[in-house]
Structure 1
Amino acid sequence: MKVKSIVIGLVGMVASLTLAACGSGDSAAKKDNWSSYEESKKITIGFDKTFVPMGFEEKNGQYAGFDIDLATAVFDKYGIAIEWQPIDWDLKETELNNGNIDLIWNGYSATDERREKVLFTDDYMANLQVLVTKKSSNITDNAGMKDKVLGAQAGSSGYANFEAQPAILKDLVKNNEATQYATFNEALIDLKNDRIDGLLIDRVYAKYYLQQEGLIGDYTIIDAGFEKEAFAVGARKADTTLVEKINAAFKELYADGSFQKISDKWFGEDVATDAVKNK
């Protein structure tokens, strides 16, 4: 009887903790949490720690990148510290709406499909999906991918476009499918070693990575033909004040020149959208 009571007690405890965790996530998803962020002086941001130059882990274990610097500048204005949380990019919206993170901020393209799940800030930077191939393959356009193997990151806007607009690439490539990778790093390694023939990837990542590796001359970067995109920050639908505060900070940072300094550091040019410039 005593053992049985202990087992029942443990089961009850686990159930209570599970309900409490779920309740916490549900509560965070259903209310405006700005006062909580102000009171605790902290906020948790989810990101893909391999996405150079937006947000990534350096060899010394520190996090760096354009989005890291920009987010830090935004929340410094409000006296709020950031806890950076590496996440599986394929599960980003689930992590957000379960309350495990408070924002998705890492080269996150604002698409119509994603708008159904999250509340976006203003766009702050333009982006484009490109097809990257090795020059030695002589593939210089989408047509060259006929019956070839394509790679893409799981959960990326590029992969979503690939599925949603099959006439552009899906109908051409081998088996009408793309090999999915957890990170672009893994995909680029496979491209380098000829395990895939082309990679659908964000232009900002492709250019920065290949330049840093000294490989830009060995690859061809092709406009894949999808509509231009823009990066924005994703919040829970109820966190309207948080989004308003971020939008306001974007404009203030641009007005005082801080945004341009961060942009020049990572890209050598001003990448701000008109929304940030308040045009």
Structure 2
Amino acid sequence: MNKRSALIALSLSALLVACGKQEAAPSATAAAPTPAVVSKIVVGLDDNFPPMGFRDEKNELVGFDIDMAREAAKRMGVEVEFKPIDWSAKEAELSAKRVDVLWNGLTITEERKKNIAFTAPYMENHQIVVVAAASPIKTKADLAGKVVGAQDGSSAVDAVKKDDAVFKSFKEFKTFGDNVTALMDLSTGRLDAVVVDEVVGRYYVAKKPQDYAVLDENFGTEEYGVGVRQGDTDLLAKLNQSLAGMKQDGTAARIATQWFGKDITK
């Protein structure tokens, strides 16, 4: 190696050493994870709750709330899956993320608000008293000493118990897995009265007016809303937007008229 080559080699070595001492450039800040795109919502419901959600003669799920949920999902651009659940365990199903929403004639109450976030109300409802057509019971006071029934886990139970004086006058208060069973017990005489959501009670009374009657008095007015997990603010906002749009363009009224003969949406 000649002198010139040696000098070049030394210069290159020094340059490499200098470069090696430089600190590595800081890595770019990791990008925030992109929120998962929701492509499907699972609706928890009681599939024996006509006309809100029930199975027809083909065992297919139909009903007012079924049609409302399908339309809302369409507007949100997502698929909808309906999952029958034990309605008395609905809050546990929601919090455990086995369902995304509760949409099946769900009454908005202060107690439920502790664990469920609700959309704006989309329907107003009453807790009515259904009796046999030939029953001598005409008022709530006449329920004293009688056997009264309601669906377990329903707002009817809360509404009845809230009227403490009337509730304590019952001979017995029975709860059932669904309203259909309670009304069957009424028709066979095992119950004297059934407290039930107005939309459900009047649906059955209209089908068998010769068998049932509805008292003029009721156990209060309530509102229906769609329930989601607390913290699911994005889903809640999209549902509210869809429901508002359905009301504004008349879609909700059309669906209600198909099931109830008139617009009973709020």
**Do the structures match in fold with TM over 0.5?**
yes
More helix by share: 1
Please report the RMSD computed on the Cα atoms of aligned residues, expressed in angstroms: 1.3
Q: How far apart are 1:163 and its partner, in Å? A: 2.2
State the partner residue of 1:229. 222
Match of 2:192 among 192, 197, 200: 197
Q: Structure 2 residue aligned with 1:186, among 167, 181, 184?
A: 181
Please point out which of 140, 147, 162 is paired with 2:160: 162
Once residues 260 and 199 of structure 2 are traced to their aligned partners in structure 1, the CA distance between those partners, rounded to angstroms, is: 9
TM-superposed deviation, 1:135: 2.3
Letter in 1 for 2:204: Y
**Whole-Å Cα distance in 2 between the matches of residues 178 and 88 of structure 1?**
20
Select 1:172's aligned residue among 146, 169, 172: 169
Q: Is the 8 A contact 2:63 2:259 kept in 1?
A: yes
Output one character per residue of 1:83-108: Cα deviation in whole Å (capped at 9) or x when no partner: 10001110011110111111000000
Q: Which has the higher strand share?
A: 2
**How far did 1:224 drift?**
4.6
**Structure 2: any 5+ residue segments left out of the alignment?**
1-34
Please name the residue that 1:100 is paired with.
98
What amino acid is aligned across from residue 73 of structure 2 in structure 1? F
Q: 1:166 to 1:58 in 2, by over 3 A?
A: same
Length-normalised TM-score, structure 1? 0.80
Percent identity over the alignment is 36
Larger CA Rg, structure 1 vs 2: 2
Q: Distance in 1 between matches of 2:128 and 2:252?
A: 26
What is the CA distance between 1:227 and its match in structure 2? 2.7
The equivalent of 2:241 in structure 1 is 248
Cα distance, 1:180 vs. partner? Answer: 0.7
CA contact (8 A) 1:128 1:223 kept: no
Which amino acid in 1 is paired with 2:228? A
State the alpha-carbon separation in 1 of the partners of residues 162 and 250 from structure 2. 39
Instruction: For residues 106-152 of structure 1, give each alpha carbon's deviation from its aligned partner in whole angstroms, at most 9, with x where no partner exists.
Output: 00000111111100000000000011111222111111111110001
Instruction: Indicate the SS of the match to 1:242.
Output: helix
Equivalent residue number for residue 271 of structure 1: 264
Structure 1 residue runs without a partner (length 5+): 1-34, 274-279
Show CA shifts across 1:228-248 (max 9, x none): 101100110111111111111
How far does the alpha carbon of each residue in 1:154-213 deviate from its partner, in whole angstroms, 9 at most, with x for none? 00101012223312x312110xx411100001001100000010101111101112223x
Alignment partner of 1:56: what SS?
Answer: strand
List, as ranges, runs of 4+ consecutive aligned residues in structure 1 with deviation greater than 6 Å: none
Scaled by the length of structure 2, what TM-score is found?
A: 0.84
Q: 1:210 aligns with which of 205, 208, 213?
A: 205
* Count of residue correspondences: 232
